[in-house]
Amino acid sequence: MKIAFVLFDGLTFLDFAGFYDVINRLNFFEPTKGTTWETCAMTDQVTDESGLTLKVDRVKPDLSEYDLVFIPGGMGTRKLRYDEAFVGWLKQAESVPLKVSVCTGSLLLGAAGFLSGKKATTHPRAYNLLEPYVTEVIQKRIVKDGNVITAGGVATSIDLGIYVVGLLAGQEAAANVKLQIDYPYEMQGVVEE
Please identify every residue annotated as catalytic: 103
Q: Considering only CA atoms, which of 39, 40, 41, 37 is closest in space to residue 3?
A: 37
For residues 13, 8, 64 and 116, what is the CA-based torsion angle, rounded to 10 degrees?
Answer: 90
Pairing of strands 136-137, 142-145: unpaired
Residues 122 and 21: their CA atoms lie apart, in Å, by: 20
